[in-house]
C-alpha cells in the first residue's frame, strides 16, 4: 500500500494536485491500482502476454517519403513492451499480402499508419481486431463516417496557435503566415497547412491584431514533396515584397527554406529578416537558430499503442473516438524582435 496523497505532498514538498495527477498517470498505465475507501496499491507486475500489436506503414514505393513512420514505430514499440506485448511492423503492401495468405500471427491490435495521398489500398477491418488509424487531420463528421475506427492525429490548429502566441509575446504585431495549401479548399495532402493557418488567424484575432493581407499561399499546391521548397519560394517572394512583416509562421520547415531563399534572392538586408517559427525542427534550417514546433511522432505511436491495449482489454469501449496529440514549441533566440540585427544572428548565418 502506498502513502496517502497528503503524505507524498508533505514528504516531497509538492502540491496535492501535482501528486494526484502523477499518481493518476501511474494508475492509467497499470503500475498502480486503487481500492475505493482503502487506498492505492502497487499493481502486480505486467506479465509478458505475447500479444502481437502491428504497425502498418505506407508503401515504400510511393512518391511521398514517410520518415516519420520509424519514429512512430519507436514510440509504439516502447509502449507495447511496457504493456507486456510484442511488436511487428510492415508496409501496407506486404501486410495485405501476408494477411491474404494467412501468414500473419494472431493480432491484438493494429495501428494503420499507411496514409498517403495516392494510397490505393488500406488495411481496413480485420474481424474484431482493434484498429487505430493515423490521419493528417479529422473532423467530427469524418470520424463518424469511419464507423468504429479510432483515429489519432496532431493538433495542427493548436500548433499554429502556439507559434503565433510565441511571436506575439515577443512583441511582434505584423505576423505573416506562409502556407503550402492552395487558395480555397486544400487537397488532402495539405489540409494540415490550412489547419495551421486557422490557428494563426484565430490567435491574431484573439490578440486584437489584423491578419488581413498577411496570409501568403501558393497559386497551386506542390505536386510532390520535392516541389515544396520551390513552391514556397514563389509564395514567399510576394511576402518579402509586400508584407513588411516582422515575423512569419511557416507551414513547415520546407516552407521556411523557401522563405530564406526568397529573402536571399531579394537581397534583403539580414538585419531586417523576420523572426520565423517553423514546424518539424529539421536540421537544414537550424543555421537560422529557428524556433520550431516539433511533432512528437514517438508520443503519437505510444498513444496509439495505449489505445489499442485499452480496446483489447475492455478498458475502452463504445464508439470510435478521435485523439489529438499536442505539438511542442521549442523557443529559440531568433524569435526576438532585435535578433536579426544582432552580432549573434550574423554569426549564425555566416554573414
Say yes or no: 186 and 220 in one domain.
yes
How far is the C-alpha of 293 from the C-alpha of 162, rounded, in Å? 8
Number of domains in the chain: 2
47 against 120, higher pLDDT: 120
Q: Is 34 in contact with 40 (CB distance < 8 Å)? A: yes
Alpha helices in the chain (DSSP H): 5-12, 16-28, 68-82, 92-100, 140-145, 156-169, 191-206, 228-242, 253-265, 297-312, 343-348
Say yes or no: 144 and 171 in one domain.
no
Say yes or no: 252 and 335 in one domain.
yes
Say yes or no: 64 and 186 in one domain.
no
Q: Is the pLDDT of residue 170 over 50?
A: yes
Rg (CA), the chain: 23
Q: Is the pLDDT of residue 306 over 50?
A: yes
Cβ-based neighbour number of residue 238 at 10 Å: 14
193 inside domain:
yes
146 inside domain:
yes
Domain span including residue 200: 156-294+330-348
Q: Is 69 in contact with 57 (CB distance < 8 Å)? A: yes
279 inside domain:
yes
338 inside domain:
yes
How far is the C-alpha of 177 from the C-alpha of 181, rounded, in Å? 11
With cut-offs at 50, 70 and 90, classify the pLDDT of residue 344: low
Per-residue pLDDT at 99: 93
Say yes or no: 273 and 221 in one domain.
yes
How far is the C-alpha of 247 from the C-alpha of 276, rounded, in Å? 6
30 inside domain:
no
In tens, the pLDDT along 222-250 reads: 988 889 999 999 999 999 998 889 999 99
Pair type for strands 291-294 and 39-42:
unpaired
Per-residue pLDDT at 141: 55
**Cα dihedral sign, 27-31-36-38:** negative
With cut-offs at 50, 70 and 90, classify the pLDDT of residue 272: confident
33 inside domain:
no
Per-residue pLDDT at 336: 78
Say yes or no: 72 and 101 in one domain.
yes
Q: Is 331 in contact with 167 (CB distance < 8 Å)? A: no
Say yes or no: 234 and 128 in one domain.
no
12 inside domain:
no
In tens, the pLDDT along 244-259 reads: 899 999 999 999 999 9
Q: Is 287 in contact with 264 (CB distance < 8 Å)? A: no
With b for 16 or more beta-carbon neighbours within 10 A and e for fewer, the 215-226 pattern comes to: bbbbeebbeeee
pTM: 0.80
Say yes or no: 290 and 304 in one domain.
no
11 inside domain:
no
Per-residue pLDDT at 301: 95
Say yes or no: 182 and 135 in one domain.
no
Say yes or no: 173 and 84 in one domain.
no
Residue 134's CATH number: 3.40.50.2300
Say yes or no: 287 and 301 in one domain.
no
Say yes or no: 134 and 160 in one domain.
no
Amino acid at each position: 500500500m502506498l502513502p496517502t496523497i497528503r503524505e507524498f505532498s508533505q514528504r516531497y514538498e509538492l502540491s496535492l494536485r501535482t501528486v494526484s495527477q502523477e499518481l493518476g498517470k501511474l494508475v492509467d498505465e497499470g503500475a498502480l491500482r486503487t481500492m475505493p475507501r482503502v487506498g492505492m496499491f502497487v499493481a502486480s507486475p505486467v506479465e509478458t502476454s505475447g500479444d502481437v500489436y502491428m504497425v502498418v506503414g505506407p508503401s515504400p514505393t510511393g512518391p511521398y517519403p514517410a520518415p516519420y513512420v520509424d519514429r512512430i514505430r519507436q514510440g509504439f514499440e516502447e509502449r507495447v513492451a511496457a504493456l507486456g506485448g510484442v511488436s511487428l511492423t510492415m508496409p501496407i503492401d506486404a501486410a495485405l499480402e501476408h494477411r491474404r495468405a494467412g501468414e500473419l500471427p494472431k493480432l491484438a491490435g493494429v495501428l494503420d499508419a499507411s496514409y498517403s495521398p495516392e494510397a490505393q489500398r488500406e488495411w481496413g477491418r480485420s474481424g474484431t481486431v482493434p484498429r487505430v488509424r493515423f490521419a493528417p487531420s479529422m473532423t467530427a463528421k469524418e470520424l463518424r463516417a469511419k464507423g468504429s475506427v479510432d483515429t489519432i492525429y496532431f493538433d495542427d490548429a493548436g500548433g499554429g496557435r502556439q507559434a503565433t502566441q510565441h511571436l506575439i509575446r515577443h512583441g511582434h504585431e505584423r505576423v505573416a503566415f506562409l502556407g503550402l495549401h492552395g487558395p480555397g479548399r486544400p487537397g488532402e495532402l495539405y489540409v494540415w497547412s490550412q489547419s495551421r493557418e486557422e490557428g494563426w488567424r484565430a490567435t491574431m484575432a484573439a490578440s486584437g491584431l489584423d491578419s488581413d493581407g498577411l496570409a501568403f499561399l501558393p497559386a497551386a499546391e506542390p505536386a510532390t514533396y520535392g516541389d515544396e521548397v520551390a513552391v514556397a519560394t514563389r509564395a514567399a517572394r510576394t511576402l518579402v515584397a509586400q508584407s513588411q512583416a516582422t515575423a512569419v509562421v511557416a507551414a513547415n520547415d520546407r516552407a521556411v527554406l523557401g522563405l530564406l531563399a526568397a529573402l536571399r534572392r531579394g537581397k534583403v538586408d539580414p538585419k531586417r529578416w523576420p523572426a520565423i517559427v517553423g514546424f518539424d525542427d529539421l536540421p537544414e534550417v537550424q543555421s537560422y537558430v529557428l524556433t520550431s514546433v516539433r511533432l512528437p511522432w514517438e508520443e503519437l505511436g505510444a498513444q496509439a499503442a495505449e489505445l489499442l491495449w485499452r480496446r483489447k482489454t475492455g478498458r475502452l469501449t463504445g464508439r470510435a473516438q478521435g485523439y489529438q496529440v499536442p505539438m511542442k514549441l521549442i523557443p529559440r533566440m531568433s524569435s526576438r524582435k532585435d535578433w536579426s540585427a544582432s552580432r549573434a544572428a550574423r554569426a549564425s548565418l555566416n554573414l
